[in-house]
Amino acid sequence: MKRNIGTGLALYPTPLVVIGVIANEKPNWMLVGHLGIIGHDRIMVSLAANHYTNQWIKKNNILSVNIVSEDILKKADYMGSVSGKDTDKSQVFDYHTGDAGAPIINDSPVVIECTVDDIYKTPGFESFILKISNTYADEEVLNENGKIDYRKLKPVLFEFPTYEYLKTGDVIGKCLKLDETSAVR
């Protein structure tokens, strides 16, 4: 018998990303765990409306979504603890500028450069619907077919209820071929 635990968020774990914007001609970075996929060419990040980052997304219409691997978790965690309103976070990551103008973290293995397609507003929040302009991936996380190998990338996962980071797990089977490839029946 399941217990009804109310209407709190339960859709976890999610991947963890650092959002990068240009703010006053230098980068500002922010940690984000509330995000999603829309269709096949858009993603969504859900931000509290009062964050420093939001105004720069709206002003420049360009941002980067940097996937957090274990290697950059410590720096990424810091980006979730202080605001660009009163702390200069621009020196923490080495970065370069993407083809569309967003700041790209050199040490993030996969970075998605996006423009803003729409903003879905709910009380206290702005969820940005983003169109993908470019995806940059380190050679080390690509397989022989040029696709991202998430077993190599090992994206860090996030869960809000206990405010913890989780390690990416092992492969348990191939999609639609579980009978042939998996111990899960």
Alpha carbon 9 to its chain's center: 18
82 lies in the binding site for ligand FMN (CB under 6 A): yes
Of 51-59, 116-124, 136-144, 172-180, the window that binds ligand FMN (rule: CB under 6 A) is 51-59
Q: b/e string for 108-120 if b means 16 or more Cβ within 10 A? A: bbbbbbbbebeee
Which of 13, 36, 42, 46 touches ligand FMN by CB under 6 A? 46
63's CB contacts (< 8 A; 6+ apart) are: 19, 20, 21, 56, 57, 102, 113, 114, 116, 128, 130
60 lies in the binding site for ligand FMN (CB under 6 A): no
Pick the closest to residue 130 from 119, 139, 121 (CA basis): 119
55 lies in the binding site for ligand FMN (CB under 6 A): no
Residues in region 104-163 near ligand FMN by CB under 6 A: 158
Q: Are 18 and 30 in contact (CB under 8 A)?
A: yes
32 lies in the binding site for ligand FMN (CB under 6 A): yes
- Residue with tokens 């979504």, as numbered in its chain: 65
Record the tokens describing residue 117, joined without a space. Answer: 């397609």
H/E stretch holding 7 = none
90 lies in the binding site for ligand FMN (CB under 6 A): no
Of 82-90, 101-109, 133-141, 147-155, the window that binds ligand FMN (rule: CB under 6 A) is 82-90
Task: Find the shortest distance in angstroms from Cβ 173 to ligand FMN.
Answer: 29
Task: Find the shortest distance in angstroms from Cβ 177 to ligand FMN.
Answer: 34
Q: What HEC string does 122-143 produce? A: ECCEEEEEEEEEEEEECHHHEC
Number of residues that bind ligand FMN (CB under 6 A): 18
Which of 27, 43, 51, 155 touches ligand FMN by CB under 6 A? 51
| Residues making contact with ligand FMN (CB under 6 A) | 28, 30-34, 46-48, 51-53, 80, 82-85, 158
